[in-house]
């Protein structure tokens, strides 16, 4: 990504340079488009050279502002210096332009027009050109500020993207030890019941951890891999459940190559096993996940037995972590609701605008 940014800036500079060249080239063709058959409208070499001189003075004003004055004075809030610099530049150009035009088209009588007797003609000439120069200054200023705004906006978006990626990595780094912590608690409970089965579960856990540590490091995985992980996790959790707990799962998808972000459903499922099981009372956990080519709907429900204040295992991440991840990965493309309804706790997650592998 770091190599891509400079190349994008180079391409942008080339595009801006091309736009400038095309724009001035088009302006240079204007005299040829507005010539007529009358002698007063015929384009002569002297008239075209005069037009080129006027246009050149506009170019000087444009780039003096675009490349130097706006950045040096206006952007640093030295408005007085900015105005005085432009006035001095315009005055020098007007006088120089008048003298150059006089050289191209001298008075037939030989009289020098740049004299006190022709001051009103000179003032009119300067006044007309000043209006043109101020128009060019306005265009230069607007173009410079628009370019600066686009540059600042691009940099802001790049910083926001980098911040989002860093935050997402941080959230995922929190998720992995959270998952491991809960699973090891289950294996610890199983050791006292069946050491042989605990050994088998450790092997099954290694398969789950391989997915968590390696597969889930990708931005997107196929739904087939992610749902297999959920099935294996649920079966692992079943091991230590008492007989009074009912666990039902329904997972279906139309295409195994549908791509989703990994481990989105594991947090509500973990919470369901943590808060939905009571060793002495009838309990239930229902997991339903269905997916089409463009949409995933997940619903996790469980009986609600909140932990007491002394049991803080795995707390502090949970659903708020998931909410942040969804906002970073699927902005405005998801809905996520959760809460308690009577003695039942539910989490409903919907993702849309998905893609296939």
CATH classification of 214-356, choosing from 3.20.20.190, 1.10.3720.10, 3.30.565.10, 3.40.50.2000? Answer: 3.30.565.10
Lowest mean pLDDT among 69-73, 110-114, 198-202, 292-296: 110-114
Q: Tell me the two tokens of residue 251.
A: 């997972």
Statement: residue 169 has pLDDT above 70: no
- pLDDT, position 28: 79
- pLDDT, position 122: 63
How do the domains of the chain map onto residue ranges?
4-157, 214-356
Sheet holding 258-260, edge to edge: 221-222, 258-260, 355-356
Q: Tell me the two tokens of residue 162.
A: 């980098």
- Give 34's DSSP letter: S
Compute the average pLDDT of residues 328-353. 89
- pLDDT, position 111: 46
Q: In the predicted model, what is the mean pLDDT of the chain? A: 78
- As a whole number of angstroms, the distance between CA 303 and CA 249 comes to 15
Q: List pLDDT tens digits, range 84-127.
A: 988 898 888 887 877 787 776 655 444 444 444 566 666 676 67
Statement: residue 163 has pLDDT above 50: yes
- As a whole number of angstroms, the distance between CA 285 and CA 290 comes to 17
- As a whole number of angstroms, the distance between CA 193 and CA 187 comes to 10
Q: Across 268-272, 318-322, 353-357, which has the greatest mean pLDDT? A: 268-272
Between these two residues, 171 and 50, which has the higher pLDDT value?
50
**Crossing angle of the two packed helices 266-275 and 318-329, in degrees rounded to 10:** 170
Q: List pLDDT tens digits, range 6-28.
A: 555 566 677 777 888 888 888 87
Q: List pLDDT tens digits, range 313-335.
A: 444 457 887 888 888 788 889 99
Alpha-carbon torsion angle 166, 171, 173, 174, nearest 10: 150
Q: List pLDDT tens digits, range 223-267.
A: 999 999 899 888 878 877 888 999 999 999 999 989 998 888 988
- As a whole number of angstroms, the distance between CA 64 and CA 244 comes to 83
| DSSP string over 93-114 | HHHHHHHHHHHHS--TT---SS
Compute the average pLDDT of residues 266-289. 89
- pLDDT, position 345: 93
Closest CA to 351 of 285, 270, 258: 258
- pLDDT, position 212: 74
- pLDDT, position 299: 96
Confirm whether pTM is higher than 0.75.
no
**In the chain, what percentage of residues exceed pLDDT 70?**
76
């Amino acid at each position: 990504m770091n190599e891509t940014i400079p190349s994008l800036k180079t391409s942008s500079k080339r595009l801006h340079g091309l736009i400038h060249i095309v724009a001035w080239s088009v302006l240079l063709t204007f005299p040829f488009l507005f010539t007529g058959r009358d002698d007063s409208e015929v384009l002569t070499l002297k008239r075209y050279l005069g037009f080129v001189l006027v246009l050149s003075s506009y170019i000087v004003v444009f780039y003096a502002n675009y490349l130097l004055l706006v950045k040096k004075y206006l952007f640093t809030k030295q408005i007085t210096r900015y105005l005085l610099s432009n006035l001095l530049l315009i005055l020098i150009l007007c006088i120089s332009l008048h003298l150059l035009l006089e050289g191209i088209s001298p008075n037939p009588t030989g009289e020098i027009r740049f004299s006190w007797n022709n001051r009103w003609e000179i003032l009119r000439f300067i006044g007309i050109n000043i209006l043109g120069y101020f128009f060019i200054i306005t265009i230069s200023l607007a173009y410079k500020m628009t370019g600066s705004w686009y540059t600042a906006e691009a940099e802001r978006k790049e910083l926001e993207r980098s911040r989002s990626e860093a935050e997402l990595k941080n959230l995922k780094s929190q998720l992995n030890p959270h998952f491991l912590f809960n699973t090891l608690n289950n294996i610890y409970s199983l050791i006292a019941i069946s050491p042989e089965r605990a050994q088998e579960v450790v092997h099954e856990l290694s398969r789950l951890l391989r997915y968590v540590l390696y597969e889930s490091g990708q931005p997107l995985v196929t739904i087939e891999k992610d749902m297999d992980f959920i099935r294996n996790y649920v079966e692992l959790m079943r091991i230590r459940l008492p007989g009074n707990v009912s666990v039902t799962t329904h997972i279906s998808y139309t295409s195994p190559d549908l791509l989703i972000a990994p481990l989105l459903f594991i947090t509500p499922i973990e919470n369901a096993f943590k808060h939905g099981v009571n060793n002495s009372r009838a309990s239930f956990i229902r997991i339903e996940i269905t997916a089409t080519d463009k949409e995933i709907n997940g619903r996790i429900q469980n009986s609600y037995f909140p932990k007491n204040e002394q049991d803080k295992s795995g707390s502090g991440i949970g659903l708020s972590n998931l909410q942040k991840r969804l906002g970073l990965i699927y902005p405005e493309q998801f809905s996520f609701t959760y809460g308690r309804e009577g003695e039942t706790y539910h989490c409903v997650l919907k993702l849309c605008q998905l893609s296939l592998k």
